[in-house]
Each structure stands twice: as C-alpha cells, then as structure tokens.
Amino acid sequence: MNKEVAISVKDLYKSFRLPHEQHSGLKQFIVNIFRRNRVKGYEDQRVLKGLSFDVKKGDFFGVVGRNGSGKSTLLKLLAGIYTPDRGSISVNGTLVPFIELGVGFNPELTGRENVYLNGALLGFSHKQMDAMYDQIVEFAELERFMDQKLKNYSSGMQVRLAFSIAIRAESDILVLDEVLAVGDDAFQRKCYAYFAELKRKKKTVILVTHGMDAVQQFCNKALLIDAGKIVEYGNPSKVAGKYLELNNNVLDSTKTSDSHLMEANDWGVVADVQHEIKNDKVIFNIEIKARQQLDEAVVAFLLNRDTGETVYRWTTDSKSTLGKAVTIKKDKPLRICLELENIFPDGEFDVQLVIKKIDRSINYALFNRILTFRMINPDIQKRSSHWKPKETFTYEQY
Amino acid sequence: MPLKISNVLKQRNMVLLRELVITDFKLRYQGSFLGYLWSLLKPLMLFAIMYVVFVHFLRFGNGIPHYPVTLLLGIVMWTFFSEATNQGMQALIVRGDLLRKINFPKYILVISGTISALINFVLNLIVVLIFMIFDKVNFGWSALLFPLTILILYAFSLAIAFFLAAVNVKFRDIGHIWEVFLQGLFYATPIIYPLQMVIEKNVAAGHVLMLSPIATLFQNARAQLVGTQSVVTPDQVFSNPLWLLMPYIIIVLVIILSTWYFRKSQSKFAEMV
C-alpha cells in the first residue's frame, strides 16, 4: 500500500440479518422443525453496496449522508467493529476505536470514575489518566461536578466530559461521529477550535456530520453516501451542495416521474405529482389520468406534515379556485399547476391527493404520500398549524 | 484479535480488564446498606439453611468428622461455579453497548465477568479457612495442592462461560436452560450430602456421579484441605485409573471446544448483540 494512504477501502459490501421480532428464540426453532416452508425469521438488509475510496495521510475527510444511508455502518467497518461481507479495508496506522462519544459511560458512577473507565477504553492506564485528569476536567468545565453521579449530569455536560476525554486519544487516525450534535454555542466553538488544531497538526481525521459548514470549513475531501452507494466524492463544497439537494429531493423531482406514479382502483385513475422548491415559492405539477369518465369530480390537494396534521388544502370546488366540480374525461389528462408562496417551516411534508364525486357518494381515488419532501427554512419560526400561502394555479385538460 | 494468553497480558487489555472488574464491583452493591459484606453473608446464610436442614434434621454426614466445614466449602465452591458461569454468560449482553461501539478483544468482557466471581470466592474462602481453624482441622501437606484444584476449577468455569456467552448472543434461551441444568447438577454433585451416603446404597451411582468434573474437583478440594478421613476422593471410588482421568478429559475437551466456538463466532457479536 502507498505510504501516503491512511485508509484504503475497496469495493466494500455489508448487509445485516434483521431478525423479525419473536422469531429468533427456541420457539421459532421448534416451530420450524415441523413446518415445510420454514419461516426465515430474518430479512437481509443490504446497507453498503460497493464503496471504494481512499483517505490520505493528513486528510480531513468528511462523511455525509442522510439518516440510514450507511454512514455509521461504514465507520464501524473502518473501526473494525464489524467485518465486511465483501471487499477490503486496509488501515495504515492506529485508529481510535471510538465511534461515539462517552461509550461505556455508566450513569451510576461518578464523573471521576467514568473518566477512568472511558480512559481505559481508549487504552490509557490509571497512571496516565492521573496525569491528564485535571486537564480533562478543566476542558470540560466540570470541576464542581466530578464527584456527582453521571445520571445527575445534563446531556450537554455528559458530552463535554466525553469529548474532553476523547480528544486526549493519541492515534494516527481519528474517527469522530456527530460530535457537534449536542452542546451549546460555547462548546461548539471549542469543538471547532479543536478541529482547527487537528488540521494544523496535519492529523488524519474522519468526521461524520450533518453540519455542512463544518464540512466546508475543515474538510479537504468529502464523501456523500446515499442508500449505501457513493453519490459524490471529492470536493467538499460539491458534496455539501449535493447533500442539500438530496435533502430537498430536487434531484428526484427532475428525474422521470415513474417513481411517483400511482395506479389506482377500478376507476383507473393514475396520478402524478412533481414539485420544485425555490426560495420564494414551491411549485407542484399535478397530472391525473382516468380510464373511465369521472363525473362531477372534486380534486383535493392536501399538504401534510410528518406529524400527521394537514397544513394546506386546495380543492377544485372551493370559491377561491374553480368553485365547481370538474369532469375528468377518459384518457384526457388533467393538469394542475399550483404555485405556493414558500412560507413553510423546516420539516418533512407529504402530499395527499383525493378525488371524489361532489356529493361524496363515490370515492374515485385516494393517493396517500404520493410525494414526500423536506423543507429547509430555518428562518421561519411560525408554529401555527395552518398556513395560508399566496397561491396561483393553472388548470387545463387536453 | 486472537484469543491468546499474550494478548490478555498486554498492558492495554489488562487496564481495561481492571477497570471493568472495578466498575462491576462498585455497581453490584451500590445503594445497599451492607455493600460488599453481602458477598460474604450470602453463602454463609445459605450454609446456615443447609446446615439446619441437612445436618441437624436429616442427619446427613452423621459420624463424619468436620462434615459442616466440608459442607460450607462445597457451598462456597458451588456459589463460585454458578456465579462465574452465569456472569460470564451474561457479560456480552450486559455490555452490548461497548461491543457495538468499540473494537476491543471480546473475551475481556467474559473474563471480567468471571473475575468478579473469583474475587468473591477468594473472600469466601478466607471465611471458610477461619471456620476450619475453629473446627480444629489439621491441615496436611496436601493443602498445598488446593490452589491447583481451584485453578482447574476456574479454567473450567471460564471455558463454560465462553461457550455460554457466545451462544447467548444469538440464542437467549440458553440462560434458562443453564439455570435448570445448574439446578440438576447441584443435586448430582455431592455438596449437601456426603459421597459415602451414595456409595453405601449403590456403588454404580457413586461411579456415575464421580465422572462429573465438578464432583471430582469438589471432592479433591475438600480432601486436600480437610483430609481423606472425612471426604471420599475419586481414587477411592475408582480402581481403574482410566476412569479417574475421565473428568479431566472432559475438562480439556470443554476448554478446547469452547475456545474454538468463541473464536469462530466472535466477529459477529457486534452485529447480533
């Protein structure tokens, strides 16, 4: 292996067997003996599907991806906690075995006892810890609390203590997972100062984070994973941009609409919704096709938050819109373009489409979660459950 | 990391082992009024019950000199065996958070589970020795062999713990199975009754009992401390030396099998625990 390379990953695959609940015990074992079609009791979940990349010595390497994309699995493989199914990982130098902060922290022990236990997990002897103890406590700003049990600490205090111990680790490669998630501003500044120091010292660091400013500020190289595959690799700004795109789902909506296509019931209704998020507005393009004529139909477009509440509703029969029912003819697609003012706060949203006869006697179609997307609007603090965005729409049938 | 003595003795691993054992001890009796004393009091109370039931009422061991102290020693050894195997079995599960987040030699967890049982055992042995002195037991040269017997007992318990711990990761039922098995083994081992009692009634049954490594080690340990006039040793039971070797062959087989199985399955512990 090239001496400049700290970690080399080639064609890495990993899947897990996820046992179904209640299926791994003796009972299932015995039941299976008497069954012809044995219940498998587990399903294979493929988490990483062929990753290859190199981390050079002195790299500040960022790993980003949405929740469940396989980041943590990758880190655990790098740290040697998991063994790969296929492919190879070669590590040149020692690697801090930590994946998370405060591993092994026990709530029933005092802060002091936890420091020694955590230190032992990092490979420090009691004597070495004695020598470092005061510095650790000082850095964590917890002098008054060290003889209290850890369960009486706030979560921020626990992270401060864990971080203060972890940065003592002396190894060639450091792996840091989501350290910035907890902690107040002052502590985050401390973290950044520590990162800057690592960068100055040309340490090899692998940082897993959701904070794109940290990626752009410190990393010289980054990796974006989605669904177990590498989406973008290399330039941190590009990776950060792509990550934000992924989160906005803009990527998906520009692709073919097949993924959103919904086939429905006897009425043969097919509907599709595409969306585009801009700074000031959100645009939805809705298309509805029917294989039979839908008489006196009312089309309702609902926007729901992930909490389940409906925050916006648009119907063809309300006074501000068409004010009447429409007839959707056979094989003549109906197109509705809806432009809403972007006043929606941070969070996950999904679109629900309902088509009914105006007298509610027939449900022509009900499409749940026809589209899901995420809004990133940190400046909007409004908490009311129902929004009234300015809306414009076009409606046409061919 | 392979399971090798040299790795266990590495400084880093020793430090970790030490901290784990200390933590275990601190946590076990936290919030209890008598604290560590409980590890002494429990076997003594158990002994008191057994003494009243079996020696006083049922008159087991009537006419056998020093029977109460051999009973006490048996109970203390049994407590150790059952604690070491149970704690070792649970060690990987209890510390699952560590397994999932750090790469370190997994066997350290099992060893740390058995070591706290070992520490308890040593403390208990001191109490037993004090009782023996009060009971005017004459210690002979054979007492020097006693630590060797304990060492074999520890190695055997550790090996069983390795096996149970590895199985327990994917098959939690083993805890219940082992509990029942231990209960059976307890009565199949001459602890609360003297071996003489069985042999007087049925020689063959005595032979079967003494094939068990636990029975053999217990009888040897007691004979080494208290003397052969009170305890029947395996060589008094078997005339054929091959039978005498059987328990030791079982021990060696268990050690080889458990180590092999643990090493084979340890790479999956982090995913399955």
The tens digit of pLDDT for each residue in B41-98 reads 888 888 889 888 888 888 887 778 888 899 999 999 999 999 999 999 999 999 888 8
- Residues with Cβ within 8 Å of B2's Cβ and at least 6 positions away in sequence, in order, are B263
User: In 3D, which of A375, A373, A372, A353 has the Cα closest to residue A363?
Assistant: A353
Whether B23 sits inside 8 A of A109 (CB atoms) is yes
CB-CB contact of B71 with B192 (8 Å) = yes
- Residues with Cβ within 8 Å of B218's Cβ and at least 6 positions away in sequence, in order, are B74, B77, B78, B189, B190, B191
Q: Is the pLDDT of residue B3 over 60?
A: no
Q: What is the pTM of this model?
A: 0.71
| A83 chain-B contacts, CB cut-off 8 A | 267-268
Q: Is the pLDDT of residue A160 over 80?
A: yes
As a whole number of angstroms, the distance between CA A169 and CA A159 comes to 16
Q: How many contiguous H segments (helices) and E segments (strands) does chain B have?
A: 14, 0
The tens digit of pLDDT for each residue in A88-138 reads 999 888 887 666 777 888 888 899 999 998 888 888 888 888 999 999 998
Whether A81 sits inside 8 A of B270 (CB atoms) is yes
DSSP state of A20: P
| B102 chain-A contacts, CB cut-off 8 A | 79, 81, 97-99, 103-104, 121
Name the least confident of A152-161, A302-311, B261-270: A302-311
Q: Is the pLDDT of residue B162 over 80?
A: yes
Rounded average pLDDT over A156-168: 85
Bridge pairing between strands A391-397 and A334-341: antiparallel
Cβ of B179 under 8 Å from any chain A Cβ?
no
| A89 chain-B contacts, CB cut-off 8 A | none
Whether B101 sits inside 8 A of A100 (CB atoms) is yes
- Residues A253-265 as b or e (16 or more Cβ within 10 Å = b): beeeeeebebebe
The tens digit of pLDDT for each residue in A289-312 reads 887 788 888 888 888 887 777 788
Mean of all residue pLDDT scores within chain B: 88
Whether A97 sits inside 8 A of B26 (CB atoms) is no
Which residue of B20, B21, B98, B102 is the best one to mutate when testing the A interface, meaning the one whose CB has the most A CBs within 10 A?
B102
Report the Cα A395 to chain-centroid distance in Å.
Answer: 36
Whether B104 sits inside 8 A of A103 (CB atoms) is no
Q: Is the pLDDT of residue B238 over 90?
A: no
Whether B102 sits inside 8 A of A126 (CB atoms) is no
Q: Which residue of B has its CA nearest to A127?
A: B15
Cβ of B10 under 8 Å from any chain A Cβ?
no
* Confidence (pLDDT) at A266: 59
As a whole number of angstroms, the distance between CA A344 and CA A363 comes to 30
Q: pLDDT over 70 for what percent of chain A?
A: 82
Q: Is the pLDDT of residue A210 over 80?
A: no
Q: Is the pLDDT of residue B6 over 60?
A: no
Q: Give the dihedral sign, CA B34/B35/B40/B45.
A: positive
The tens digit of pLDDT for each residue in A321-377 reads 777 778 888 778 888 888 888 777 777 788 888 888 887 777 787 777 778 777 766
Mean of all residue pLDDT scores within chain A: 79
ipTM over 0.90: no
Q: pLDDT over 70 for what percent of chain B?
A: 97
* Confidence (pLDDT) at A317: 81
The shortest C-alpha distance from B28 to chain A (Å) reads 11
As a whole number of angstroms, the distance between CA B262 and CA A282 comes to 58
Report how far apart, in Å, the C-alpha atoms of B194 and of each of A9, A110, B19, B49 are: 64, 48, 41, 17
- More confident call, B261 vs B170: B261
